[in-house]
C-alpha cells in the first residue's frame, strides 16, 4: 500500500491510512477504532472504512440531477408581462437579455451559476466516481476538485432565488409583472439532487490504491 | 498554522521530513498493532475524515490549527471561548432572522406605483399551482433550516459555554446541525437578491428595506460563526465533557 500511496502523494510524505493499519476512522469525528467496531463511541456514527455503496448513491442522484436539468433548460424560467405583452425566457434566454441590457457582469454571474457550474459538476462527479471504480488512486488535486464541487453546489440555487425575488417584487399590475416558470422547479431539483450526489461521495475512496478493494 | 505530524513520526515538532524510526524498526502497520496492544487504546490517534490518514493527536495552543498532512483538512482548531462565541453569534443571527422575515425587504417604485415586499413574499412567489412545493423548499432553505441550525447550535453549545455538562442528546443535535449545514442558504439568497436588483434596476427604482440589512448582517454572522467551528474539535470537547 505504502508504495502506491507514496508514489501518488504530492508532498511525497509517507502516510499510513487507518485502513492500512487495521483500524477504522470515523467519517464524522475522526476517532479511530479497531476494525469490527460498529459505531463510533464518540459521536455514534456507523463506522465504515470505505463506503463503496456510496458510489451507487452518487451515480443514482447524479443521473437524477442530469435528467431534471434538461427540462430546466427547455421550459421558461420567467414570464414577464409588460403593458400587456407577455414574454417567456429560459435560463440561456435570460442571459442573452441581460447582455442586451448591457449588464455583462450579471449576465456572467447568472451564466456561470446556472450553466457552467451545474454542467461542470456533472462532469466532475462522474469523473471522480469513474476513477474510483477503475481503482485509480487520486492525488491532492483530485481531492481538491471534490472539495470544490461540494463547496460550489449550493451556489447554483442563486437562479431559483433570483426568480423568487423578481416574482415577489415585480407585481406592478399593468406596468410590469413577473411570474416564475416551471423550469424553476426542475432547476431547483437538479441542484438539490447534485448536492446529494456530491454529499454521498466518500472522499476517502479518492485516495485509495487499486489493491484496496474496488469491487462494487 | 502548523501541520500535524503523522502519528508514527517521533520528532516533537510538526515536520515535513522523511519518516524516521528512532527505536524500533517495525513496519508502520506492525507499530500500530504494537501500540494498540500496549496501550489498549487508540484514543490518541485520529484519522482524517476526508482521506483516512492517521495522525497523532497533538497538544495545540489556543488559536493554533492542525491540518491533515495529506489533504489539508483542518483537524483541530481550539480557540479561546469558541463555545461562547458560537452561542452569542447564533443568538444574534436568530434575532436578525426575525427582523429579516418580518420587516419589509425591498421596495420597488415606478411612476407612483409602489410595492413593498418581504422575504415572506419571495417565499410565496412559487405558491401558485404546480410550483407550490418549491415555495416550501425556498422557505426551508432561507428561513427554516438556518433557524433550525442556530437553535441546534445554541442547544449544544450554551450549556457547555456555561461550563455545564452537555445537554441531553447533544450529540444527535450537533450531528443534525452539521447535516443541515450545506442546506442553509441564507448567503446564497443575498447574492440572489443582488442579481435580482441589477435585473430590475433599469425598470424601476428599488429601495432597500431594513430587512435587507438584517439579512446581510445575518450572512456575515453566519460566516464568522462557521469560522469558529471545527467539527473534530467540537466532537473532542463534547466527548471529554460528557465523560467527566
Q: How are beta strands B54-56 and B106-110 bridged, if at all?
A: unpaired
8 Å CB contact of B126 and A184: yes
* Residues 6+ away with beta carbon under 8 Å from B130: A182, A185
Nearest to B121 among A20, A34, A168 (CB): A168
Q: Most confidently modeled of A113-117, A125-129, A133-137, A162-166?
A: A125-129
- Exposed/middle/buried for residue B149 (C-beta within 10 Å: 0-12, 13-18, 19+): buried
Instruction: Say whether B54 and A43 touch across the interface (CB within 8 A).
Output: no
**Beta B74-76 vs B66-67: how paired, if at all?**
antiparallel
Per-domain residue ranges for chain B? Answer: 1-78, 82-243
Q: Are residues A81 and A144 in the same domain?
A: yes
pLDDT of B18: 39
Residues A74 and A150 in one domain: yes
Q: Average pLDDT of B189-205? A: 78
| Residue A57 and residue A33 in one domain | no
The answer to whether residue A137 is domain-embedded is yes
pLDDT in tens, A29-38: 888 888 878 8
Domain that holds residue A16: 1-49
Strand partners, A17: B53
- A2 pLDDT above the threshold of 60: no
pLDDT band at residue B42, thresholds of 50, 70 and 90? low
| Nearest-neighbour CA in chain A from B91: distance (Å) | 24
Contact A200/A54 with Cβ under 8 angstroms?
yes
User: Does the distance separating the beta carbons of A155 and B192 come in below 8 Å?
Assistant: no
Exposure string of B107-145, with b = 16+ CB inside 10 Å and e = fewer, is bbebeeeebebbbebbbbbbeeeebeebbebbbbbbbbb
Q: Are residues A60 and A40 in the same domain?
A: no
Q: Please, which pLDDT band fits residue B1 given cuts at 50, 70 and 90?
A: very low
Residue B104 with chain A: CB contacts under 8 Å: none
Give the residue carrying C-alpha cell 466532475: A124
Strand pairing report for B2-3 and A23-25? unpaired
How much is the ipTM here?
A: 0.78
Same domain, A13 and A84: no
Q: What is the pLDDT of residue B211?
A: 83
Q: Is the pLDDT of residue B242 over 90?
A: no
Specify which residues A24 forms β-bridges with. Answer: A33
Residues A117 and A172 in one domain: yes
On chain A, the residues whose CB falls within 8 A of the CB of B139 are: none
Average pLDDT, chain A: 82
Which of A37-46, A61-70, B92-101 is most confident?
A61-70
**How far off is chain B from A109, nearest CA to CA, in Å?**
8
In a domain, A214, yes or no: no
pLDDT digits (tens, 9 = 90+) for A146-161: 999 988 888 888 888 8
Q: What class has domain B82-243?
A: mainly alpha
Higher per-residue pLDDT: B226 or A209:
B226
- The residues near B196 (Cβ < 8 Å, ≥ 6 apart) are A161, A162, A165, A166, A169
Reply yes or no on whether the pLDDT at B30 is more than 70. no
The reported pLDDT for the residue numbered B17 is 38
Q: Give A26 to chain B, closest Cα distance, Å.
A: 6
| Rg over CA atoms, chain B | 24
- Where are the strands (E) in chain B, listed by range? 2-3, 45-47, 54-56, 66-67, 74-76, 106-110, 113-117, 205-208
With CB atoms and an 8 Å threshold, state whether A172 touches B110.
yes
- Pair B75, B4: CB distance under 8 Å: yes
Do A128 and A75 have their domain in common?
yes
Amino acid at each position: 500500500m505504502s508504495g502506491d500511496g507514496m508514489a501518488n502523494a504530492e508532498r511525497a510524505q509517507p502516510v499510513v491510512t487507518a485502513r492500512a493499519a487495521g483500524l477504522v476512522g470515523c467519517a464524522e469525528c475522526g476517532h479511530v477504532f479497531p476494525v469490527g467496531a460498529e459505531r463510533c463511541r464518540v459521536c455514534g456514527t456507523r463506522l465504515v472504512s470505505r463506503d463503496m455503496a456510496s458510489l451507487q448513491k452518487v451515480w443514482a442522484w447524479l443521473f437524477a440531477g442530469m435528467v431534471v436539468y434538461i427540462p430546466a433548460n427547455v421550459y421558461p424560467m420567467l414570464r414577464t408581462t409588460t403593458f400587456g405583452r407577455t414574454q417567456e425566457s429560459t435560463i440561456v434566454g435570460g442571459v442573452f437579455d441581460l447582455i442586451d441590457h448591457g449588464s455583462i457582469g450579471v449576465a456572467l454571474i447568472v451564466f456561470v451559476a446556472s450553466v457552467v457550474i451545474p454542467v461542470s459538476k456533472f462532469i466532475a462527479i462522474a469523473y471522480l466516481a469513474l476513477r474510483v471504480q477503475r481503482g485509480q488512486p487520486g492525488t491532492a488535486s483530485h481531492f481538491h476538485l471534490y472539495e470544490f464541487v461540494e463547496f460550489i453546489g449550493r451556489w447554483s440555487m442563486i437562479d431559483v432565488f433570483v426568480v423568487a425575488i423578481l416574482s415577489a417584487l415585480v407585481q406592478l399590475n399593468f406596468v410590469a409583472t413577473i411570474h416564475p416558470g416551471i423550469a424553476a422547479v426542475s432547476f431547483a431539483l437538479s441542484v438539490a439532487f447534485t448536492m446529494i450526489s456530491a454529499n454521498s461521495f466518500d472522499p476517502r475512496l479518492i485516495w485509495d490504491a487499486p489493491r484496496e478493494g474496488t469491487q462494487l | 498554522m502548523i501541520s500535524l505530524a503523522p502519528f508514527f513520526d517521533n520528532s516533537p515538532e510538526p515536520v515535513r521530513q522523511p519518516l524516521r524510526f528512532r527505536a524500533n524498526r517495525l513496519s508502520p502497520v506492525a507499530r500500530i498493532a504494537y501500540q494498540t496492544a500496549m496501550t489498549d487504546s487508540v484514543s490518541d490517534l485520529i484519522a482524517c475524515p476526508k482521506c483516512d490518514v492517521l495522525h497523532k493527536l497533538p497538544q495545540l495552543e489556543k488559536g493554533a490549527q492542525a491540518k491533515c498532512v495529506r489533504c489539508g483538512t483542518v483537524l483541530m482548531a481550539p480557540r479561546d471561548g469558541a463555545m461562547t462565541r458560537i452561542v452569542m453569534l447564533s443568538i444574534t443571527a436568530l434575532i436578525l432572522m426575525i427582523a429579516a422575515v418580518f420587516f419589509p425587504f425591498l421596495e420597488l417604485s415606478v411612476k407612483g406605483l409602489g410595492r413593498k415586499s418581504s422575504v415572506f413574499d419571495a417565499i410565496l412567489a412559487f405558491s401558485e399551482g404546480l410550483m407550490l412545493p418549491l415555495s416550501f423548499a425556498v422557505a426551508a432553505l432561507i428561513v427554516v433550516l438556518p433557524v433550525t441550525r442556530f437553535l441546534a447550535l445554541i442547544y449544544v453549545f450554551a450549556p457547555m459555554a456555561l461550563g455545564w455538562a452537555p445537554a441531553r442528546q447533544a450529540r444527535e443535535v450537533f450531528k443534525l446541525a452539521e447535516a443541515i449545514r450545506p442546506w442553509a442558504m441564507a448567503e446564497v439568497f443575498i447574492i440572489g437578491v443582488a442579481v435580482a436588483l441589477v435585473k430590475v434596476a433599469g425598470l424601476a427604482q428599488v429601495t432597500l428595506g431594513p430587512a435587507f440589512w438584517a439579512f446581510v448582517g445575518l450572512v456575515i454572522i453566519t460566516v464568522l460563526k462557521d469560522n469558529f467551528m471545527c467539527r473534530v474539535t467540537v466532537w473532542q470537547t463534547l466527548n471529554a465533557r460528557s465523560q467527566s
